[in-house]
Chains A and B, each alone.
Chain A
Amino acid sequence: MNSQTKKPNAGGVALWKWLLLPLMGSVAVLSYTWAGALPEFQSPETARIIFWHVPHAILSMIWFFTAGFFSLRLLKNGDLKDDTRAEKAAEVGLVLTVLATITGAVFSKMQWAGGLNSPWYEGYWQWDPKQTAILIVILIFFAYFGLRSSVDEAHRRARLCAVYAVIGAVLVPVLYYTLPHLPIFSSVHPTKVISTREGMSPEYRTVFWMSTLGFLGFSLWSYQMQVRFAFVAERILARRENAGAEVRVEAVRRPVTES
């Protein structure tokens, strides 16, 4: 009862979640009106990839960092709630990584591989250093969920997975930024688009950051829902287990009292 009165937004949706609607709506409209097609692209319409692909990649890294943070906190204080938080953050990060890979693959076909003139199965994968890197990141977090599903004891699973998530979170920036930019590899990805003033026109820059903010909101929202759902599920399971234990105790007791 107390928990219901404590929640300020019980029954409603927080204001920032409503604001996502006009924000992403205007991103969709502005990306087709204000931020126009760029003629220097192979197919000029595909220049808008930057409003989708790049925020996904950046945010996936932020969510993997979050997973690493909660994992470190779990290793410090052993609170299993942090294990759930880390798991859900890694889940959101993995979804964003897969989205970034898919959008990138489509763009790769259009920009670097002859577009629709090439055979339908060709051009999606170039083994660009950044594609290799994102593939490794996906494999790391697939392995993380594989590890989660194969250890039964909750505390040990939490600790092992936390160690692996920390390793993953440290590797993600190395893979995304350091390795593809080594002089020994040549990448077709452009560099310094975001970090320099000349990288994007003001229209593109504005819509890009609006989109990043919007996707940050969406991923935060889904993360919150996942975590809340997991906590509720855990509470129900715990209650059911307790109830089961009481029933079993009754079953043992009854014949004794009857006789």
Chain B
Amino acid sequence: MSVKPARENWWGETWAVFLKDVRSEMRTPSAVATILLFGLVTLVTVSFLVRVEGQGLTELGLIENYVEVLQADPNARILGTVPEGTPTRHAVLAGLLWIILFFSAMAGLPRTFLKEEEMRTAPALRLTALPSAVFAGKLLFNVGLMLTVVSVIFPLYLFMLHPWIKNWPLFVGYLVAGSLGMAGSTTIVGAMVARAGGRTYLMLPLAFPILLPILVFAINGTAAASRGIPGNYLIPLVSYVVAMVTLSALLFDYVWSDR
């Protein structure tokens, strides 16, 4: 019995790896389920920060009387003592959005490699596909995963946290670029975690410092976009991501192959 690559060309192999992952995800949606549940839980937890009707907060003296404030000014939805439209509120909400996305990404992105090790399909994949094609296929899958998650989490974020967004195209641009960046620069870390005996607790410490520049750019950028002020964070964000993806592609073979 001879083992031949599924397709002869690189793009074909990449696409085959991607399709295989999508099909396997459709059968048992482990990554999507993990990442969406994580995102939802974080979103709801974070929402309590924004709603301030609780006894504790009113008694703290942050707001004298919430009902009176609302009657005097019906538009006053209040974040702690921070009213809507202020720079502080934009900054806090931008930070919260990326905290939600970051933690759900950390929970879901290593799944694609962990699954291969758990199901013991990794050796077969190692035999049949080029390492670079495996990397590219998994990268595509992770990008798709992050975009799916963003498309679910972001509308809920809008409904629950009421951010005021002035510059919509730029905001969406940061959202897409930031989630692509998270998927792109942590794909190799996911592979490392899977190869380190599936120790999932390693994902957070290993990925966090690599992702921190992306988070800094994305948080600053989304805050600037929602305030509608200029601020060029998109170019450094994209260049950092391109550099990280290139570096990961060069190093992936050493993580993936047995030698």
Look across to chain B and name the residue whose beta carbon is closest to the beta carbon of A132: B216
B236 touches A182 (CB 8 A): yes
Interface 1/0s, chain B 221-259, versus A by CB < 8 A?
Answer: 000000000011100100010011001100100110001
Minimum C-beta distance from A10 to chain B (A): 38
In angstroms, Cα B193 to Cα A150, docked, is 10
Q: A146-B202, A150-B199, A184-B220 are in contact. Are A136 and B192 (CB under 8 A)?
A: no
A139 touches B213 (CB 8 A): no
A142: B residues at CB distance < 8 A: 205
Minimum C-beta distance from A240 to chain B (A): 26
Interface 1/0s, chain A 137-164, versus B by CB < 8 A?
Answer: 1011011001100111000100110111
In angstroms, Cα B240 to Cα A179, docked, is 10
Q: A159-B255, A163-B254 are in contact. Are A143 and B209 (CB under 8 A)?
A: yes
B247 touches A170 (CB 8 A): yes
Which residue from A139, A147, A175, A182 sits with its C-beta under 8 Å from B196?
A147
A139 touches B208 (CB 8 A): yes
Q: A143-B209, A147-B206, A184-B232 are in contact. Are A166 and B216 (CB under 8 A)?
A: no
A147: B residues at CB distance < 8 A: 192, 196, 202, 206
Which residue from A139, A164, A184 sits with its C-beta under 8 Å from B231?
A184
Which residue from A143, A160, A170, A175 sits with its C-beta under 8 Å from B195?
A160
Which residue from B196, B209, B233, B259 sits with its C-beta under 8 Å from A78?
B259
Look across to chain A and name the residue whose beta carbon is closest to the beta carbon of B236: A182
A143: B residues at CB distance < 8 A: 202, 205-206, 208-209
Interface bracket on B? 20 to 34
Tell me which residues from 195 to 222 in chain B have a Cβ below 8 Å from any Cβ of chain A: 195-197, 199, 202, 205-206, 208-210, 212-213, 216, 220
Minimum C-beta distance from B168 to chain A (A): 21
Look across to chain A and name the residue whose beta carbon is closest to the beta carbon of B217: A184
A136: B residues at CB distance < 8 A: 209, 212-213
B196 touches A150 (CB 8 A): yes
Tell me which residues from 118 to 144 in chain A have a Cβ below 8 Å from any Cβ of chain B: 132, 136-137, 139-140, 142-143
Which residue from A75, A150, A151, A182 sits with its C-beta under 8 Å from B254?
A75
In angstroms, Cα B251 to Cα A160, docked, is 10
In angstroms, Cα B212 to Cα A182, docked, is 16
Minimum C-beta distance from B95 to chain A (A): 13
B251: A residues at CB distance < 8 A: 75, 163, 166-167
In angstroms, Cα B206 to Cα A93, docked, is 18
Minimum C-beta distance from B204 to chain A (A): 9
Which residue from A132, A175, A184 sits with its C-beta under 8 Å from B233?
A184
Look across to chain B and name the residue whose beta carbon is closest to the beta carbon of A168: B209
A78: B residues at CB distance < 8 A: 259
Does B129 count as interface, using CB distance less than 8 angstroms?
Answer: no
Minimum C-beta distance from A139 to chain B (A): 4
Look across to chain B and name the residue whose beta carbon is closest to the beta carbon of A179: B213
Look across to chain A and name the residue whose beta carbon is closest to the beta carbon of B207: A143
In angstroms, Cα B212 to Cα A137, docked, is 11
Minimum C-beta distance from B142 to chain A (A): 17
A160: B residues at CB distance < 8 A: 192, 195-196, 255
Q: A75-B254, A167-B247 are in contact. Are A139 and B195 (CB under 8 A)?
A: no
Minimum C-beta distance from A150 to chain B (A): 5
Does B188 count as interface, using CB distance less than 8 angstroms?
Answer: yes
Does A106 count as interface, using CB distance less than 8 angstroms?
Answer: no
B contact set with A: CB distance below 8 Å? 188, 192, 195-197, 199, 202, 205-206, 208-210, 212-213, 216, 220, 231-233, 236, 240, 243-244, 247-248, 251, 254-255, 259
Q: Which 10 A-B pairs have the closest CB atoms?
A: A139-B209, A140-B209, A143-B205, A163-B251, A151-B196, A143-B206, A136-B209, A75-B254, A136-B212, A160-B192
What are 5 A-B pairs at a CB distance below 8 A? A136-B212, A139-B209, A146-B205, A147-B196, A183-B232
